Structure 1
Amino acid sequence: MNAPVPPIAPETDAPVMRTTCPYCGVGCGVLARPDGAGGTSVAGDPDHPANFGRLCSKGSALGETLGLATRLLHPMARGGDGRMARVEWDTAIGQIAQAFGQTIERHGPDAVAFYLSGQLLTEDYYAANKLAKGFLGTANVDTNSRLCMASSVAGHRRAFGSDTVPGVYADLDEADLVVLVGSNAAWCHPILFRRLEAARAGRGTKLVVIDPRRTATGDEADLFLPVNPGKDTVLFAGLLAWLADHEALDHAYIDAHTSGFAQALASARAMAPDIEQIARETGIPTADLVEFYTLFTTHERAVTCYSQGVNQSAQGTDKVNAILNVHLATGRIGRPGMGPFSLTGQPNAMGGREVGGLANQLAAHMTFTPADIDRVRRFWRAPRMAAREGLKAVEMFEAVAAGRIKALWIMGTNPAVSLPQAASAARALGSLDFLVVSENVATNDTVSCRPHLVLPALAWGEKDGTVTNSERRISRQRAFLPAPGEARADWWAMAQVGRRLGFDEAFAWRSAADVFREHAALSGFENDGSRDFDLGGLASLDDAAFDLLAPVQWPVRSEGDTADKRFFANGRFFTPDRRARFVAPMAARLATEVGTDVPFILNTGRIRDQWHTMTRTGLSPRLGAHLPVPFVEIHPSDAAQLGAEDGALVALQSAHGSAVLEARLSAGQKRGALFAPIHWSNATSSNARINDLVAAVTDPVSGQPESKAMPVRAAVLPVRFRGFILSRAAVADLPALWWAKVAVEGGEGYLIATDQEPDEWRHHAAAILGTRDYAEYVDAPGGMYRAAAFDDAGALVGAVFLSPGGARASWDGLKARLAARTLSSTGRRHLLSGRGDDRAAASGPLVCACFAVSTSQIDAALAAEPGADVQRLGQMLRAGTNCGSCVPELRKLIQRRAPADLATVGVLA
C-alpha cells in the first residue's frame, strides 16, 4: 500500500509536522512544512495507516488554502446601529455568559442550544457537550453530522446496542467481494478506493456498486445496480430472503449471538416476495439481481460499505439495518475481509459521536438512561445535568423559527447553506434574541445572518487536538502555523464561558491535552467492558506523550493496548443480553411522489474537488478548474424534452425554493432523475444554493433529513448572452442575471449570464475595470463585447468578455494570463481574440487536480502514443498516480479517442 510521496519542498529548515487532513472521514495522515512566508508544503504521510502516503486532490491542495485573505481575525460584535465592530475577547465572553444566563433564567435551559460541526476537534466537541449538558442543563446540542451519518448511528444502536463500527480498513485488502451502496467512493473517499483497486488487482476482489446514478465509482464496477431512489431496503430484504432460500445462513451465529431473526426474515419475505417483484420495485434487471445475490452468497469474505446514499434518506435507518441484517445472518462481521462498514463523510464526525455531539447522546457513547445520566453527572460533578434528549438539527431550527430557542451558538458550520430549506433556516437565525457564531472566515451565508457576536476560530494548521476516522482510529491534528490575529481554540472559548458562569474548577483546562485526558478518563469511568468506547488506557498520557501520540484505534482499555481491533466476530454485543438485534425494516415510499407537475427527482451530493460550502476548497484555483460552476446532471433524453443543450442554464423549482444551474448531460442519470452538488452558496453564486429546494423531511428514527429524493420541476432559462469576468480584486455588485465565482490564479473569476446588451456592458466594464486605460472591442449587432485592462508593466489586471448564446464561454485562453507579471505585446494583442497566448490557450479544462493535468495535455499525449492506456498516461503526465479519482475520466478520454483516432493510425483493426 505504500505510495510515492510528493517531496516536501526544502524552502526552510522548519521541521516537518505530522498532522491529519481536515476533509473526509478517511482521516489521512499529512506531512506539513511551513515555508516561513505563510505558505506550507504538503504531502501524504507514508507511515499513517489510513493512507500510507497518498492524498486526494483536496488534500494535495491544502497548501493553497492557508492564506489569511478571507480569515476572521478578531471578535466582532453587532452594535445598536446594526454594524459589526471589533471587541475584546473578555467583552465577548462576558456577552455570551450574560446572554445564556439570562435566557436560562427567563425561559429555562431548553431555550439555549449549540449547533456544532464534524470539522471541530474532539476536544472542542467535548467542551461543548460538558458546558451545555452538564452545566447549562440543555441537551439541545446537535451537529451538522446529523446531516450525514445519523442514520448509521441509529442503525448501529438498534442492531448492536452501541454506535460501533465493527471493521477496519484492512478488510478492504482482504475481501473477495466489496459492495458499495450509495457511495461514490472514487470521488468522495478516493484513498480508500485506491486501496480497493489494489485488492482487485492483487486478489481479484469483485466490486458491486449500488446507486441511482452511474457515477465514476459505478464506471469501475464489475456489476452496477441502478436502484430506484429509496428502494435499497427492498434490495437487501430480498437478499436476506435469497440467503435463507439458498442455505447460506450461519445458523450457529444466529442462534448464539442474535435475536429477532424469524421476524426479520418474515418481514423481508413480505417486502420482497419474489425476484420479479424486487426487480419492479428497485428498477434493477432480474438477471443483475440474481448475479448480485449469487456473488454475495458465494463470497464469504464480503464487505458492504455504505455512505450518504443510504444515510441521507427518510428511510435511512431502515436501509442501514437491512444491510446489517444480511451480515448478522451470515456471521460475516468482525472477521478479516467481512462486515458492514459506514464510510463517514466528515473528518471528525466519529469524534463527535464519541463525546456526545448528537442531541440524543451523552459523552463516551453513553445515552439518556438513568444510569448513564447519573454516571456522567457524578464524573463531571455537574450541577445541572440534562435529563432528556435534546432537539435534533432540523427540529432545533424549527424551534428557533418558532421562538422556543432564544440563544444559539454555532461553531464551524454553515447551516444557512447546508440545512434543508436553507433559506428558512437563514431567516430563523435572524429572529434569535442572541446568536453567536464561531468561524475562521470573515463571511459566509451564516455570518451574513446578522449574528450578535462572531468569534475568530483557529483553522487547520493552527488547531491542536485529535480526530477519529471511519475505522475508529484516533489521530492528532497538530498546529504547525501560529494562531493569526486573535483567533483561539473553540474549546478555550467555551471553557472561558464556563468559568465566567462560575464553574472555574470544571473548566480549568490549560491545553487540548487536558481536555483529551478528561475525555479518556470519562470513557473508562465505571466501564468494565460493558461499553464499547473506552480510552481508559490513554487517560494518564502526559503532555509529551500526547504530543507524540501515534494513530491508535479504540478501544484502548489499558496502557500499551494499541493493536488494531474488530468487533463482534464472537458476538458480545452491547445490548442488555449481549445479543444483536435483527430489525424488520418497514416498507416506505418517497416523502413526496413525482407527478406531471413535478416530474423530476433531485438527488444532491458532493463532487470530486470541492468540500462542503467551499469556504476552504473554494480558495484553490487548481480545485476550481475541474467543475467550476454549479450544475445539474440530466439524462440526454430528459434534456432533449426540456430543450436543454449541454451547458445551458436550467431553472429548478421545488415547493421550498429554486436554483439556476448549468446543464451537464449524463447518460449515467436515470430518466426522470437529476443530480446537483451541495457546495455552492449565496457567497459563491447568484442562485445555486441547492438546499433551498430540499424539504425538511427526516427519518423518524435518526432525524436525518432526506437529501436524495426531492421532487422538482425543471425548465431552460433562456439568456441572451454568456461570458466571464476576470479580476485581480473581488468584484462587488455583479450586474449579471446569473453568476458563479471561481478561484483563478492571480485573482478571481466570474462566469456570468445576462440579457443586457453589449452597449450596456461598456458601462459595467468601466466600473469593474476601474479608471485605468483598457482595450475594448464592441460588436453590438453580433452581440459581442470584450475589454481587457493592463497595469503599467503591461500585465493583465482584468477582463470582461460577453458573447451571444446559451452556452458558457471558454476562458481557458485568458485566465492563465491573470497571474502573469508580464505579457508580451503579441500576447496583449491576442487577448481580445480570447486566445491569450499559445500556452494558455492550450491548457483546456482540468482533469487531474493533483498534478494540474488538463484535457489538452492528455489529448497531446494520446496523439503522440495512440495506444496509451491509463497506466501509460500516468507515466507520461503523472495523471491518476496520486489519489486516482481522475482515473474514470482518463478512461473516458481514451475511449472517446479510440474509434476515430486510433483507426486512423492503424491501431484498430
Structure 2
Amino acid sequence: MTETRTTCPYCGVGCGVVASVTNGEVRVRGDETHPANYGRLCVKGSALGETTGLEGRLLRPMIDDVEVDWSQALDIAGERLREIIATDGPQAVAFYASGQLLTEDYYAANKLMKGFIGAANIDTNSRLCMSSAVTGYKRAFGEDIVPCSYDDIEKTDLVVLVGSNAAWTHPVLYQRLVQARAANPALKVVVIDPRQTATCDIADLHLALLPGSDAGLFVGLLNHIQGENSWPAPRVAEFCGLTLADVETFYRWFSDAPRAVTLFTMGINQSTSGSDKCNAIINVHLASGKFAREGCGPFSLTGQPNAMGGREVGGLANQLAAHMNFEPDDLARVARFWGTERLAQTPGLMAVELFDAIARGEVKAVWIMGTNPAVSLPDSHAVCQALAACPLVIVSEVMRDTDTSRFAHIRFPALGWGEKNGTVTNSERRISRQRAFLPAPGEAKPDWWIIAEIAKKLGYVAAFNWQHPQEIFCEHAALSAFENTGARAFNLRDLVTLTRQQWDDLEPYQWATGEMPVRRIIPVEPEHHGAVPDALYPLILNSGRIRDQWHTMTRTGYVPRLMQHIAEPQVDVSAADAARFALQDGQLARLSSPRGVMVARVNVSAGQRDGEVFTPMHWNNRFARQGKVNALVERRCDPHSGQPESKQTAIRIMPWQPGWQGELYARELPELPAFAHWWCKATVGVERLTLASDKALSEVILAHCSAKGWQLQIAQTGERSSMLAWHNGDLMLGFWEGKARSALAHDFIVSAFQTPPSALFERHALLDGQSPGERKDPGRIICSCFGVGENTLREAIAGGCDSVAALGAKLRCGTNCGSCVPELKGLVAEVNTVV
C-alpha cells in the first residue's frame, strides 16, 4: 500500500494528511510529522476519503450546456474572450478566483489577468474572509505579514479569541490550545464574541459584546496601556454593552500577562470597519511590547486552505504580485520580470464591486474559478441576476451542478482534491505540498493548465509555456526574490532553484517575516456597525460557519456523516426573542430582509443575545429551497479592504407552521412542484428530502409511483400518513407526512432500501417509520467522528457515565477531533440536572 503525504483542502490551519488507496477506497489520517497538526484531523478532514467519488463530477468541457472536447472548448473560449477584449477593452474582462486554488493555479491566473490581458480585475473569495486583515497588516507593517506561528499559542500566557468560533471553524488549532491550557493551567483564555459558542468551553472570561463594537474594546485597551483617558473603561463598557467589571478584568489580564496572542478572524474582518478593527488589535500588541517575540502577536486565522498563497501571488485586485503594489518601482519591476508591456497599472475591481460592474454591463466576461459566488456573495439574488445577464460566464469547477455553474456559457472540468499537484500556504506562512494520489478522472485538468492554454489562445505562448507545476512554483519564488534586497519580507529565494524532485519532496516550509522595521500604530475611531434595526426589521442577523460543513457544501454536502450533526439551515434565537416573535424550538421560520427570504429551523439557544439571531452560510439551491442566508445580507463593504459586512444585517423573523411536514426517501425522486419546501440530506444509497408545504404533495408522489409501476402500501393514522412503494420486492420509495414533524428511524429506513425487511412486524414498523423493538434509534448525531447520537449519549449518562471522559471511554465520542466535547459537557450537565 502506497501512502501519500498531502494537505487538507479545508480551513487555513493547513493540516498534513496521509492518504492511501486500497481497492478503490481512499483512507486518510493525520500526518504525525506535519507541524500544523501533528497527526490530528477534524471531522471534515477525517471524512476527506468520502469526498473523492465521481458522483456529480464535471468530467468533460461544456459549451452552452453541450459536452465538447478540449480543443473545441479552448478555441471557443479564446475566441469569445478575444472578441470582448477587442471590442470593449481589457477592463471588460474579470477573473474571480478562490482560496481553494493551489498557489500555482493562482499565480497563473494573476499573471494572465494583470500581466497580459492588462487589467487588474482579478479578485477572489478570500476578499470575503481576510482582506481586512491584509489591509490592517499592510498599514501597520508596510506589508501583508502575519507575524505569528502556531507555536506561539503553546508558549503564551494569555490567548484572546475575538470574532472566532475556532472550536468549529479551526478545530485542530483549537485543540492545540486546549492541550496547551491543560499543560499550563496558568494560561488564561478570553473569548470575545456576541454569541456563547463552543469556543467558550475553555474560556476564563467570555465578553459577549454588542455586535460590531470590538474596536471600542481594543481602543480602550490601547488607552489603558498608554495611560490615556479618551476611551476609559466606563465608556468602553457602555459602547460594547459589557459590565465595567468584565472590561477591567480583561484589561488587567492583558496588561499583566508577560506574553499574549490575539486570534481573530471573520467576526472582525467581515465589517464595514474591519480594517480599523484589525489595526485596533495590532495597536495593543505594538504598544504593549507583546509583539515580535515568542508567545506574542496579533494572529489572523485565514478561512481557506490557500488564502495566504493567494495573497503571496497577488490574487487580490488591489495587490500586484509577490507582496508588491501598484507603485512605479513595483510596476516596472514586475513588468521586467514577466517580460510584458501590457501590465495593469491600477488596482482592479474588488469582489462586490466586480459583480456590480457585471450587472451594469461594464464587465462583459467573467471567469470564475473554484468558487460559488451565487451563494457566497452578499445580496446573492442580485449576483445571480448579474450573472444571468453577463454575455460570457466561464466556470472552472469540480462539480457539474452548482448555483454558479447554472449561469455558465463555458464550463471547464477542474481537478479535485486528491488529483491536484501543487502547494498551499497556511495561516502561519507555512508552504505545504498538496500531492496527487488519484488519477485525473474523465477529461478533468489542472487549473493552471487550463489558464495557460487560454493564455496561448490569446497569443501569449512564451510566457505560459509551462509543462509542470514545479516550473510555475519556481517562477513564483523567483519573482518574490527578484530585485529584493530586503525591502520585501516575502522572499522565497531558498526555493527558486528547486529541481522537480526537490519540489516533489518539499517538506513544510515557513517563510520568515524578517526584521519588520516598519511598526505603525494606526489611529482608530470606533464605529458601530451599519445595520439599523427598525420596526419592520427589528433583529440583527449574524452569519457564519458550523462544525461539519464547508463553504457552500459542494464537497461536504455529499458526505452523509457530515450532514448528521446539523442537517438543515437553522436560526439560533434567544428564549426572549422566541417568546417575542411566537417561535417554538424546532419549528420553521421565515427570515426576510429587503433583499430576500430564507426558511430555517428555529433553535432556541441560551448562548444567543436578545435582539440578535445567527444562521449558517452554507446552504444553497442544490441543498435547500430558500436556504441561502446571503439572499438577505446587505452589500455594505469596508471602504479600505472591500470586505463585506456579512455579520450584521437587519432582518425580521416570522413563524411558519406549514400544513404538513414530512420525509421522502427514494431511489429516484419525483419532480417537485414550486410550492414544496425541501432540504436535501446526503444518505448512502438513496435520496432523502425533508419536506414542508401548505399544499398537499401526496398526489404528486402517487402519480410518480404509478408511472413507474410500483406497488403501494399506504397507512393513515390520525393526522399522519405514510406510503411505501415496492418493485420486485425492493423498496423504491418511502414518504411520511404529518401535521407536526415526527422523528423517524433514519438508519432503519436506509437499511430497508439495502436489505428489504422480510418479517411482517418489521414491515409494519417501516410503514410507521419506526425501528422494530430490538433496534434503537441513536438520535441526532453529536459525535460525527464515531456516529454517536443524542439518544445513545443520554442513555449512557443515565447509566452512570457522568463525565466526558467516561463517555469517551464507553463510546469513543470526543476522543478524536474534540469538536463535540462542549456538547457532550452540556448533555452531561442537562441529564444530571434533570435526574
TM-score range, shorter chain: over 0.9
Residues 35-79 of structure 1, C-alpha deviations (whole Å, 9 max, x = no match): 232x3011111111111111101011111111111100000001x
| Counterpart residue type for residue 242 of structure 1 | H
Indicate conservation of the 8 Å contact 2:378/2:630, yes or no: yes
Measured in 2, the distance between the counterparts of 1:801 and 1:283 equals 47
Aligned counterpart for 2:618 among listed residues 666, 679, 687: 679
SS in 1 for 2:532: coil
Indicate conservation of the 8 Å contact 2:43/2:548, yes or no: yes
1:160 counterpart residue number: 141
SS in 1 for 2:137: helix
2:30 counterpart residue number: 44
Indicate conservation of the 8 Å contact 1:314/1:698, yes or no: yes
Measured in 1, the distance between the counterparts of 2:484 and 2:587 equals 60
1:108 counterpart residue number: 89
Residues 861 and 841 of structure 1: CA distance in aligned 2, closer, same or farther (over 3 Å): closer
Work out whether 1:401 is the aligned partner of 2:348. Answer: no
Aligned counterpart for 1:491 among listed residues 448, 452, 462: 448
Aligned counterpart for 2:310 among listed residues 352, 358, 375: 352
SS in 2 for 1:40: strand
Work out whether 1:174 is the aligned partner of 2:111. Answer: no
**Normalised TM-score (structure 2):** 0.97
Residues 388 and 346 of structure 1: CA distance in aligned 2, closer, same or farther (over 3 Å): same
SS in 1 for 2:83: helix
Aligned residues: 832
**5 Å matches for 1:186-225?**
186-204=167-185, 205-225=187-207
Aligned counterpart for 2:343 among listed residues 373, 381, 385: 385
Aligned counterpart for 1:361 among listed residues 298, 315, 319: 319
2:735 counterpart residue number: 800
Measured in 2, the distance between the counterparts of 1:696 and 1:838 equals 54
SS in 2 for 1:611: coil
Measured in 2, the distance between the counterparts of 1:870 and 1:481 equals 38
Work out whether 1:597 is the aligned partner of 2:583. Answer: no
1:307 counterpart residue number: 265
Residues 203-249 of structure 1, C-alpha deviations (whole Å, 9 max, x = no match): 1211100001111112331110001111000000111111223xxxx
| Counterpart residue type for residue 211 of structure 1 | D
2:499 counterpart residue number: 542
Indicate conservation of the 8 Å contact 2:670/2:704, yes or no: no
SS in 2 for 1:583: coil
Q: 1:363 Cα deviation (Å)? A: 1.5
Work out whether 1:333 is the aligned partner of 2:291. Answer: yes
Work out whether 1:690 is the aligned partner of 2:629. Answer: yes
Measured in 2, the distance between the counterparts of 1:34 and 1:729 equals 30
Q: 1:791 Cα deviation (Å)? A: 4.7
SS in 2 for 1:96: helix
Indicate conservation of the 8 Å contact 1:179/1:302, yes or no: yes
Measured in 2, the distance between the counterparts of 1:879 and 1:16 equals 27
Indicate conservation of the 8 Å contact 2:801/2:807, yes or no: no
2:555 counterpart residue number: 616
Q: 1:840 Cα deviation (Å)? A: 5.3
2:607 counterpart residue number: 668
Q: 1:723 Cα deviation (Å)? A: 0.9
1:262 counterpart residue number: none
SS in 1 for 2:29: strand
Measured in 1, the distance between the counterparts of 2:674 and 2:774 equals 32
SS in 1 for 2:638: coil
2:373 counterpart residue number: 415
Measured in 1, the distance between the counterparts of 2:59 and 2:774 equals 39
Work out whether 1:852 is the aligned partner of 2:791. Answer: no
Work out whether 1:787 is the aligned partner of 2:723. Answer: yes
Indicate conservation of the 8 Å contact 1:746/1:818, yes or no: no
1:898 counterpart residue number: 832
Q: 1:588 Cα deviation (Å)? A: 1.8
Q: 1:811 Cα deviation (Å)? A: 4.7
Aligned counterpart for 1:772 among listed residues 674, 692, 710: 710
| Counterpart residue type for residue 184 of structure 1 | N
2:755 counterpart residue number: 821
Measured in 1, the distance between the counterparts of 2:400 and 2:352 equals 26
- Gap regions ≥5 residues in structure 1: 1-12, 79-83, 246-264, 556-566, 902-909
Indicate conservation of the 8 Å contact 1:652/1:659, yes or no: yes
SS in 1 for 2:754: coil
SS in 2 for 1:776: strand
1:446 counterpart residue number: 404
Aligned counterpart for 2:772 among listed residues 837, 842, 856: 837
Measured in 1, the distance between the counterparts of 2:537 and 2:374 equals 25
Indicate conservation of the 8 Å contact 2:745/2:777, yes or no: no
Residues 821 and 676 of structure 1: CA distance in aligned 2, closer, same or farther (over 3 Å): same
Measured in 1, the distance between the counterparts of 2:296 and 2:350 equals 32
Measured in 2, the distance between the counterparts of 1:470 and 1:768 equals 52
Indicate conservation of the 8 Å contact 1:735/1:764, yes or no: no
Work out whether 1:520 is the aligned partner of 2:477. Answer: yes
- Gap regions ≥5 residues in structure 2: none
- % identical aligned pairs: 47
Q: 1:583 Cα deviation (Å)? A: 0.7
Measured in 2, the distance between the counterparts of 1:48 and 1:29 equals 5
| Counterpart residue type for residue 28 of structure 2 | V
Measured in 1, the distance between the counterparts of 2:42 and 2:670 equals 31
Measured in 2, the distance between the counterparts of 1:330 and 1:503 equals 52
1:881 counterpart residue number: 815
* Superposition CA RMSD, Å: 1.6
Indicate conservation of the 8 Å contact 2:783/2:789, yes or no: yes
Work out whether 1:627 is the aligned partner of 2:613. Answer: no
Measured in 1, the distance between the counterparts of 2:774 and 2:145 equals 53
SS in 2 for 1:832: helix
Indicate conservation of the 8 Å contact 2:670/2:701, yes or no: no
Indicate conservation of the 8 Å contact 1:394/1:703, yes or no: yes
Q: 1:871 Cα deviation (Å)? A: 1.6
Indicate conservation of the 8 Å contact 2:42/2:817, yes or no: yes
Indicate conservation of the 8 Å contact 2:744/2:770, yes or no: no
Indicate conservation of the 8 Å contact 1:457/1:488, yes or no: yes
Measured in 1, the distance between the counterparts of 2:208 and 2:238 equals 12
**Normalised TM-score (structure 1):** 0.90
1:30 counterpart residue number: 17
| Counterpart residue type for residue 301 of structure 2 | L
Measured in 1, the distance between the counterparts of 2:254 and 2:123 equals 37
Measured in 2, the distance between the counterparts of 1:864 and 1:736 equals 46
Measured in 1, the distance between the counterparts of 2:196 and 2:31 equals 32
Q: 1:673 Cα deviation (Å)? A: 0.1
Measured in 2, the distance between the counterparts of 1:478 and 1:822 equals 42
Measured in 1, the distance between the counterparts of 2:670 and 2:508 equals 44
Measured in 2, the distance between the counterparts of 1:768 and 1:184 equals 46
Residues 217 and 36 of structure 1: CA distance in aligned 2, closer, same or farther (over 3 Å): same
Q: 1:790 Cα deviation (Å)? A: 3.7
SS in 2 for 1:684: coil
Indicate conservation of the 8 Å contact 1:456/1:486, yes or no: yes
Residues 338-372 of structure 1, C-alpha deviations (whole Å, 9 max, x = no match): 11100110010000000011001111111111111
Measured in 2, the distance between the counterparts of 1:813 and 1:646 equals 24
Aligned counterpart for 1:289 among listed residues 223, 240, 247: 247
Measured in 1, the distance between the counterparts of 2:364 and 2:714 equals 55
| Counterpart residue type for residue 116 of structure 2 | F
Residues 762 and 99 of structure 1: CA distance in aligned 2, closer, same or farther (over 3 Å): closer
Aligned counterpart for 1:478 among listed residues 431, 435, 441: 435
Residues 17 and 791 of structure 1: CA distance in aligned 2, closer, same or farther (over 3 Å): farther
Aligned counterpart for 2:99 among listed residues 118, 142, 159: 118
Measured in 2, the distance between the counterparts of 1:313 and 1:730 equals 42
1:55 counterpart residue number: 41
1:6 counterpart residue number: none
Q: 1:525 Cα deviation (Å)? A: 0.7
Indicate conservation of the 8 Å contact 2:158/2:261, yes or no: yes
SS in 1 for 2:715: strand
SS in 2 for 1:186: helix
